[in-house]
């Protein structure tokens, strides 16, 4: 089966109303003006019922984030060691989704004392600036190091941006030296990898730091004193060197027991950084798809049904930890759920659906029984053992009693095509195919022409709604002749030929039996 393509779209949010007007050489001169703008914005947001904390995030960002234009872009990106630029368009919903996270990240980085400068550019309004920066789509994040751009490879929440930015600008690991620092760290980070070392030196420590630099998503923290480490990881093992991941979920602590090498530490993170059950959102979808775990089980359900299923699902997930990634998708979120459900022919479903994919999504599986704990566990066990039958979508079996052209679906492909003792001509079409209607009319006429044949059957299948492992067609329309004595090697017939040419081609490959008078073609 050809690899399925999954398309993602982000939720449409209201565009932010604030302008970021800071200029790198004019911050001090315009500070009073910025304060006045801050006050006006805060009064406006309060009048509109916006929480003061949201207003505070925006007003702080006004003082921090530079707004680029055609005149100042080159000066700013070349004037600092590190500049993180957001290219956006006012009409772009993805830009609107990312902007508040970018503003929150700017505030956090400022509080951390980061040397990173953040800037944004309206690429629609300033195309010259966007061209200089190399911005071609929206939104785009680019890191400029001494004027040279590097692609952004982190996540898209505020925390993701902060972690990625700090790692790329000289702080791959946060060192904790006091209990107060540890408590403050816990307030800011909910998922992190802790390393305890007697001394911050040596081969194992070097591999730890190397892994921290390689990873894009997880904050690394290091401590030396065991009692201090217990503030972050209460059940820490009394070993010389220790690694463990901490998450804010029921499976909170996971200790590392592998070799202290960078690649093994990164592998450990990949298999353990997600919750037992991850809720997919527009912001984390890229991270979910890039997980190294071979098998992924998706649960599509509305919020109420999922709440009832969560506890037993977590129990199952704990059994298959590191072997299966469990993902929840709100079935009412069409942008996220529908692309997957369409692959099963269930795009209109409102009931809970449990499905699975292997890595790369080249094979898909469907739980066709009730989604109980025991059924899901059995489904997962068979998935890991490789004993599940690959799912191929199919329309309901049709009634072909009066049809001159038999309708074939996924469930009947074996009986009607491969196991049939007759020669079969199969029209493969899709509803959205531009030329398929003309071919369908020709097939109808050919079926009428050969109506008296006892060994030739005409049929058609909608490839958008039906699948079969032996049907490998990517171009539509396609006409295939399955000879009775060689079903494994269908012959492709021309679709742009005249009726007489098609009939001649059919007669060339097979001998039509019991022919009767035919209509002229």
Report how far residue 84's alpha carbon sits from residue 82's, in angstroms, rounded to the nearest whole number: 7
Q: Give the H/E segment covering residue 18.
A: none
For 276-312, the three-class secondary structure string (H helix, E strand, C coil) is CEEECCCCCHHHHHCCCCCEEEEEEECHHHHHHHHHH
The sign of the CA dihedral 383, 274, 4, 300 is positive
Give me the residues paired with residue 255 across strands. 244
Output phi, psi for 445, to 5 deg.
Answer: -70, -40
| Cis amide prior to 139 (ω within 30 degrees) | yes
Report how far residue 222's alpha carbon sits from residue 225's, in angstroms, rounded to the nearest whole number: 10
Nearest of 402, 477, 475 to residue 443 by alpha carbon: 477
Q: CB-based contacts of 514: which residues, under 8 Å, 6+ apart?
A: 452, 453, 454, 455
Nearest of 272, 133, 153, 261 to residue 204 by alpha carbon: 261
Separation of CA 244 from chain center:
27
The sign of the CA dihedral 146, 148, 153, 155 is positive
The sign of the CA dihedral 445, 447, 451, 456 is positive
Separation of CA 422 from chain center:
45
Report how far residue 139's alpha carbon sits from residue 66's, in angstroms, rounded to the nearest whole number: 16
- Give the active site residues: 92, 433, 436
The 10 Å CB-count burial string (b at 16+, else e) for 225-247 is: eeebbebbbeebeeeebbbbbbb
The β-bridge relationship of strands 140-145 and 148-151 is antiparallel
């Amino acid at each position: 089966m050809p690899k399925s393509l999954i398309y993602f779209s982000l939720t449409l949010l209201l565009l932010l109303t604030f302008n970021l007007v800071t200029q790198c050489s004019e911050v001090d001169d315009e500070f009073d003006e910025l304060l006045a703008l801050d006050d006006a914005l805060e009064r406006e947001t309060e009048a509109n019922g916006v929480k003061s904390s949201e207003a505070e995030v925006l007003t702080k960002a006004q003082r921090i984030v530079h707004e680029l234009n055609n005149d100042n872009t080159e000066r700013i990106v070349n004037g600092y060691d590190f500049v993180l630029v957001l290219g956006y368009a006012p009409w772009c919903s993805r830009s609107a989704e990312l902007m508040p996270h970018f503003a929150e990240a700017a505030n956090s980085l400022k509080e951390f004392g980061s040397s990173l400068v953040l800037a944004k550019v309206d690429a629609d309004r300033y195309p010259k600036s966007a061209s200089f920066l190399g911005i071609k789509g929206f939104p785009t994040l680019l890191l400029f190091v001494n004027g040279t751009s590097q692609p952004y490879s982190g996540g898209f929440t505020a925390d993701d941006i902060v972690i990625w930015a700090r790692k790329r600008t000289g702080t791959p690991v946060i060192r904790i030296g006091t209990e107060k620092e540890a408590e403050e760290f816990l307030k800011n980070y909910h998922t992190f990898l802790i390393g305890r070392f007697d001394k911050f030196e040596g081969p194992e420590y070097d591999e730890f730091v190397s892994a921290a630099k390689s990873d894009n998503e997880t904050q690394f923290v290091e401590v030396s004193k065991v009692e201090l480490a217990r503030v972050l990881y209460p059940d820490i093992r009394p070993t010389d060197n220790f690694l463990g991941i901490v998450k804010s979920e029921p499976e909170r602590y996971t200790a590392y027991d592998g070799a202290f090498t960078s690649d093994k530490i990164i592998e450990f993170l990949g298999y353990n950084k997600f919750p037992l059950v991850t809720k997919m959102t527009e912001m984390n979808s890229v991270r979910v798809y890039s997980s190294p775990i071979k098998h992924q089980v998706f649960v599509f359900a509305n919020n109420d049904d999922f709440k009832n299923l969560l506890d037993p699902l977590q129990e199952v997930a704990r059994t298959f930890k590191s072997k299966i990634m469990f993902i929840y998708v709100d079935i009412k979120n069409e942008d996220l759920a529908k692309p997957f459900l369409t692959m099963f022919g269930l795009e209109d479903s409102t009931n809970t659906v449990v499905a699975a994919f292997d890595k790369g999504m080249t094979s898909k599986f469907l739980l066709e029984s009730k989604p109980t704990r025991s059924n899901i566990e059995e489904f997962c066990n068979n998935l890991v053992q490789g004993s599940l039958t690959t799912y191929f979508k199919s329309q309901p079996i049709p009634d072909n009693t009066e049809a001159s052209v038999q309708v074939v679906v996924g469930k009947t492909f074996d009986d009607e095509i491969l196991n049939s003792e007759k020669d079969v001509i199969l029209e493969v079409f899709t509803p959205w195919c531009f030329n398929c209607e003309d071919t369908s009319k020709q097939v109808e006429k050919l079926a009428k022409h050969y109506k008296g044949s006892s060994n030739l059957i005409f049929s058609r299948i909608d490839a958008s709604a039906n699948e079969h492992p032996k049907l490998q067609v990517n171009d539509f329309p396609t006409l295939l002749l399955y000879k009775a004595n060689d079903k494994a090697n269908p012959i492709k017939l021309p679709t742009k030929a005249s009726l007489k040419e098609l009939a001649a081609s059919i007669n060339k490959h097979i001998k039509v039996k019991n022919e009767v008078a035919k209509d002229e073609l």
